[in-house]
Chains A and B, each alone.
Chain A
Amino acid sequence: MSLTTQDVQHIAKLSRLHLSEEEVEIYRTQLDSILTYIEKLQAVDTTGVAELQHALPISNVFREDIVSVCEPETHTLLIENFSHKEGDLLEVQAVFNREE
């Protein structure tokens, strides 16, 4: 493997991480060595091997369709954790830009 600076910047963008130039260089080398280590899997022929998609052989776990209520204290604690709020509402920056 050999990752470029642009590769790392692209991965950082996908990951929603702001990195300093110094960090980009450190991660370029470190991610490179990890990806090189991981390459060893390519030596194993896995043609026709099923993917282990679920840790347990269970599926369709249902519960009774009964509305359960959030405890008022839990509700309060959740809202208190918001970084910015207006009343009980989470306040965030605009998601879409308005056409000028």
Chain B
Amino acid sequence: MDISTMSLKELADQLTKKTVTSEQLTQACLDRIQEQNPEINAFIRVAEDALEQARAIDTRRASGEQMGPLAGIPVGLKDNMLVKGQVTTAGSQILEGHVSAYDGTVVSRLKSAGAIIIGQTNMDEFAMGSSSESSHYGITKNPWDTTKVPGGSSGGSAAAVSAGFVPFALGSDTGGSIRQPASLCGVTGLKPTYGRVSRYGLMAMASSLDQIGPFAKSVEDVMTIMECIEGQDPNDGTSIRLDSTSVPELLEPSVAGLTLGIPKEYFIEGMDPEVKARVMDAVVVLEKAGAKIEEISMPHSEYALATYYIIMPCEASSNLGKFDGLRFGYHSMGSDLEDTYRRTRGEGFGSEVKRRIMLGSYALSAGYYDAYYRKALQMRTLIKQDFDEALKRVDAIITPTSPSVAWGIGEKFNDPITMYLSDIYTVTANLATVPALSVPCGFVNNLPVGLQIMGKPFDEQMLYRIGAFYQSQTDWHKRTP
């Protein structure tokens, strides 16, 4: 039995029937990590108590306790989610040795569900990056081709699922950090609607854009994970109380009669024509199954990236003010308090983080607020209106997730603008707060391509319906490196 290719449902089934124990499953994951992680570097650290957690679940199950669908199944967490008593660093030197004092809400929900927290996955420092090359703990490599990047910032989580280290993982998405690495590593990833999943215990980058979401091998698995992690949380005032979960009891197994919009602004010059071809192949699959395809226009799309690169650094520069070297992490003593701050932060933060903090401080500084931040908030309204208008006419919007497949390690690292452009199709969903799903839809030069499906706020069900139907017609999501 190869557990690395089994769905969450199949794993839960085996665990329930006791044909496999959580200890065996966890050991199999640990073996695979030990064998392949030195090359891939998807995990920064593995929990010492993983087998202990697994044995505790096995004991509860043996005593006859009814367990949920994630009980006994190992999960990898991006290194920016607090797990009480475990080191959590956001991939940064400034948090080296920092031990989390409490569990984030998604973590306590996973623990209550009996999932096994197996360790922290690598990421761009403070989730700032599109290639997982800026971590203080080394570069993560793409399991499909180890000379290529896995995407980012949640590249460790994407690579861990793609390489079969864990059945599922969580990441966070501020401008594409779940969907873009999911696309580049050939796995399924969801950025939920802003407010669906609690951000309590997630190290904040840009608070009005950040959302936690799953990486898995299929849409069906994504639904199982969402059922566990979503929902209102008193500790996050921006989490929303909803009457229904995002997960329907039965998913409509058809796309017949749906209208899908293809925004012309997303098929721009400069995108890889082969990527476009794979995406259009996927559109044909949906059209043949009865979906109506309509070209739409979202005229402010071309301004989304510039808008994002004002709002995100402004919020990040404020959020990262807390890293002062006093209360946690790295500390470098200076001649006075301000000098200590400057030394600690100058030495402790990496180059991309410093770049974004400065960009935010500049945009918010006296005399520039109107030209930058205020302008960007107005642009955000216009971008959201594009989505509102489009989604009155269509049930969902279909685009590529990324304009290219995975690129070579080091290729874009010293060129910020080129790196930022790799998020051009994903930042819009964060600005507009809408949910967005990436599913594998083929290959270019043996590297995975992702299809992005975006929908109305809190209508994740529509994305699941389209994504799951597509995966019932194709087997791209079943390919493994």
Number of B residues whose C-beta is below 8 Å from A? 68
CB of B309 within 8 Å of the partner chain:
yes
CB distance from B468 to the nearest CB of A (A): 27
List which A27-73 residues lie within 8 A (CB) of chain B: 27, 30-31, 33-35, 37-38, 40-42, 44, 46, 49-56, 58, 61, 63, 71, 73
Count of inter-chain pairs, beta carbons less than 8 A: 162
CB of A6 within 8 Å of the partner chain:
no
Chain B residues with Cβ below 8 Å from A80 are 99
Q: A interface, how many residues as a size bin?
A: 35 or more
Asked if B240 contacts A83 (CB within 8 A), the reply is: no
Chain B residues with Cβ below 8 Å from A23 are 351, 354
Asked if B416 contacts A16 (CB within 8 A), the reply is: no
Interface residues of chain B: helix, strand, loop or mixed (majority): helix
Q: Contacts A56-B194, A77-B99 known; A37 to B309 CB distance under 8 Å?
A: yes
Asked if A31 contacts B375 (CB within 8 A), the reply is: no
Asked if A31 contacts B355 (CB within 8 A), the reply is: yes
Complex CA gap A18/B433 in Å reads 35
Complex CA gap A26/B358 in Å reads 13
Asked if A17 contacts B346 (CB within 8 A), the reply is: yes
Asked if A37 contacts B194 (CB within 8 A), the reply is: no
Asked if A94 contacts B337 (CB within 8 A), the reply is: yes
CB of B45 within 8 Å of the partner chain:
no
CB of B384 within 8 Å of the partner chain:
yes
Q: Which residue of A lies closest to B237 (CB)?
A: A61
Chain B residues with Cβ below 8 Å from A33 are 416-417
Asked if B362 contacts A31 (CB within 8 A), the reply is: yes
CB distance from A62 to the nearest CB of B (A): 9
List which A73-98 residues lie within 8 A (CB) of chain B: 73-75, 77-78, 80-84, 90, 92-95
Which one of A12, A18, A46 lies within 8 Å of B382 (CB-CB)? A46
Chain B residues with Cβ below 8 Å from A82 are 326-328
Chain B residues with Cβ below 8 Å from A40 are 303, 306
Asked if A77 contacts B378 (CB within 8 A), the reply is: no
Chain A residues with Cβ below 8 Å from B209 are 55
CB of B340 within 8 Å of the partner chain:
yes
Asked if A41 contacts B101 (CB within 8 A), the reply is: no
CB distance from A93 to the nearest CB of B (A): 4
With A50-B378, A80-B99 given, name 16 new contacts (CB 8 A): A11-B358, A12-B358, A18-B339, A18-B342, A34-B309, A34-B359, A49-B381, A51-B377, A52-B378, A56-B238, A56-B240, A74-B102, A77-B102, A81-B328, A92-B326, A94-B337
Q: Which residues of A contact B (CB under 8 A)?
A: 8, 11-12, 14-19, 23, 26-27, 30-31, 33-35, 37-38, 40-42, 44, 46, 49-56, 58, 61, 63, 71, 73-75, 77-78, 80-84, 90, 92-95
For the complex of A and B, 4 pairs with smallest distance between CB atoms: A18-B346, A51-B377, A77-B101, A83-B331
